[in-house]
């Protein structure tokens, strides 16, 4: 995408001026656009403060009071740079003949932004280099200004295709080349390949990596009970369509989601942004079978509350409120905000899901339990591009141990005939089928149900769900959702 497209195509590029007029010495410094300053601050927040990019971006845009065009440019600069960070880092190393670990973090973030403009945005080379040089001067003083100028000019002298060839030539293995070209850590590439191979779809790896580097369309959920069950009737605006696999879902073609939500005219909280894979994960539990009067439901790991709201809106008949437990009090407050439209149908508490207090009464049993367990988040790399750079293989043992402990605790509180949904936003086999198989070995009183069949019945249109396992793995390149994993169980004794 070009910067001129993002900003509305206004203005004439300086490169079209008469050459004789450019021979005068330039003494004034280049003015840095507010969008570039915001994008740099977001990269710094992610790098130095471990911030979530989407939250940092929203906050920085508000602080800078950017208009719509500059906000779009800042979003493309920050999000695009984070998605392609691995590729840009390798190109910077080749252009600078220096490891990125040896480059000052401030300078490296300036170079990453400059590389994104040169290689992916078709920004005029002189503008990308000059503003990057001035940005370096702003954030680090005179230090490194010449280095930034030289590296970016070297990057600009080769095409993206030429840099890709150099990446391949310099790689020590095919996996290292693939990881750098498609901007994923090598261990993530291997994990995704293993997950696809388990379904007999290893050949889709390139398509998956590409999908992870694309900005997803915004999906909205319209909670049950506020429409006639057909979201197509709501999608009468030019920018809203009833696309995607969730029967509660709408897709926003562009523009501000808050404006589209407001235009629909529902009470606060009825419509909000939510990935359609997340919607389907909740609906798999609620629509597995008809709701019986008096059923008790539990969302064990409820934060930030999107699935909780779907659960509560789906309740029918004389039933107690959904018990929504979240170990973090801060995230429990997010749940309360998320369920404002169905607040009377949700009881939010904050306990460790492995402890008795999370379940209320000592003898409490639940007919439906959702365990949306903490995970690596490798299924949401489109929306959280920074996540791929934060996780390490060493994080998996602690996460999978926690997932197993939460599941065991939930199974112990599942009523006879009750159903449990295990959900992770990760396709990593250690967090999906390995965890499921171990759960079944430890708990003979439960049996696995056919989640694929349930989702095919629930979804809007036919879902492409591969593999022989009863569990379902959604994919961004195949289903247009986050890579959500869903397994269903029933207590039989």
Specify binding-site residues. Answer: 301-307, 326, 352, 372
Pairing of strands 366-372, 446-449: unpaired
Closest CA to 422 of 373, 358, 363, 366: 373
Burial degree of 173 (CB within 10 A; 0-12, 13-18, 19+): exposed
Residue 50 is encoded by which pair of tokens? 């471990």
Q: Tell me: cis bond preceding 287? Omega within 30 of 0 counts.
A: no
Cα 430 off chain centre by: 20
CA distances from 65 to 34, 71, 431 (A): 9, 9, 41
- Beta carbons of 280 and 484 less than 8 angstroms apart: yes
User: Of 425, 454, 465, 474, which one is the catalytic site residue?
Assistant: 425
- Beta carbons of 296 and 321 less than 8 angstroms apart: no
Residue 354 is encoded by which pair of tokens? 């492995």
Q: What b/e sequence results for 300-321 when a residue is b if at least 16 CB atoms lie within 10 Å of its CB, and e otherwise?
A: bbbbbbbbbbbbbbbbeeebeb
Strand partners, 491: 446
Q: What residue numbers does the annotated binding site for S-adenosyl-L-methionine cover?
A: 301-307, 326, 352, 372
85: Cβ–Cβ under 8 A, 6 or more apart, which residues?
112, 183, 385, 389
Question: CB 354: neighbour CB atoms within 10 A?
Answer: 15
Q: What angle do CA 431, 434, 436 make, to 5 degrees?
A: 85
Gap between the Cα atoms of 49 and 150, Å rounded:
29
Q: Has 425 been annotated as catalytic?
A: yes
382: Cβ–Cβ under 8 A, 6 or more apart, which residues?
211, 212, 213, 214, 215, 216, 476, 482
Closest CA to 243 of 209, 218, 271: 218
Strands in 151-282 per DSSP E: 218-222, 240-241, 249-252, 271-273
- Enzyme catalytic residues: 425
């Amino acid at each position: 995408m070009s910067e001129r497209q993002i900003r509305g195509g206004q203005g004439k590029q300086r490169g079209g001026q008469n050459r004789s007029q450019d021979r005068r010495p330039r003494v004034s410094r280049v003015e840095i656009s507010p969008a570039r300053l915001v994008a740099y601050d977001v990269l710094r927040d992610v790098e130095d403060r471990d911030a979530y990019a989407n939250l940092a971006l929203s906050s920085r845009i508000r602080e800078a009071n950017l208009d719509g065009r500059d906000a779009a440019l800042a979003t493309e600069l920050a999000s695009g740079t984070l998605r392609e960070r691995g590729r840009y880092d390798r190109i910077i190393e080749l252009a600078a003949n220096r490891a990125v670990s040896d480059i000052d973090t401030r300078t490296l973030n300036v170079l990453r932004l400059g590389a994104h403009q040169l290689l992916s945005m078709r920004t005029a080379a002189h503008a990308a280099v000059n503003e990057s040089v001035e940005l370096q001067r702003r954030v680090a003083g005179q230090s490194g200004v010449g280095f930034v100028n030289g590296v970016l000019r070297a990057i600009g002298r080769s095409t993206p295709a030429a840099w890709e060839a150099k990446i391949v030539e310099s790689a020590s293995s095919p996996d290292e080349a693939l990881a750098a070209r498609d901007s994923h850590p090598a261990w993530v590439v291997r994990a995704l390949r293993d997950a696809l191979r388990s379904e007999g779809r290893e050949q889709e790896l390139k398509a998956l990596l590409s999908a992870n580097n694309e900005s997803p369309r915004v999906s909205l959920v319209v909670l049950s009970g506020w429409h006639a069950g057909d979201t197509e009737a709501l999608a009468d605006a030019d920018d809203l369509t009833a696309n995607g696999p969730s029967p509660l879902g709408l897709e926003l073609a562009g523009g501000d989601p808050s404006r589209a939500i407001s235009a629909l005219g529902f009470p606060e909280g009825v419509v909000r942004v939510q990935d359609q894979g997340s919607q389907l994960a909740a609906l798999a539990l609620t629509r597995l079978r008809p709701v019986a009067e008096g059923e008790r439901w539990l969302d064990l790991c409820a934060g930030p509350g999107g699935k909780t709201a779907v659960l509560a809106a789906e309740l029918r008949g004389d039933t107690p409120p959904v018990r929504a437990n979240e170990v973090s009090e801060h995230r429990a407050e997010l749940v309360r905000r998320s369920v404002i439209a169905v607040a009377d149908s949700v009881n939010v508490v904050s306990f460790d899901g492995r402890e008795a207090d999370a379940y209320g009464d000592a003898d409490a049993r639940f007919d439906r339990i959702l365990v949306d367990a903490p995970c690596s988040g490798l299924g949401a790399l489109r929306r959280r591009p920074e996540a791929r750079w934060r996780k390490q293989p060493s994080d998996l043992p602690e996460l999978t141990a926690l997932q197993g402990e939460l599941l065991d605790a939930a199974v112990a509180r599942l009523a006879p005939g009750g159903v449990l949904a295990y959900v992770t936003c990760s396709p990593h086999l250690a967090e999906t089928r390995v965890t499921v198989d171990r759960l079944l070995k430890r708990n003979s009183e439960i049996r696995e149900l056919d989640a694929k069949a349930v989702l095919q019945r629930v979804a809007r249109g036919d879902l492409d769900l591969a593999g022989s396992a009863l569990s379902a793995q959604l994919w961004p390149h195949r289903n247009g959702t986050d890579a959500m994993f869903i397994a269903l169980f029933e207590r039989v004794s």
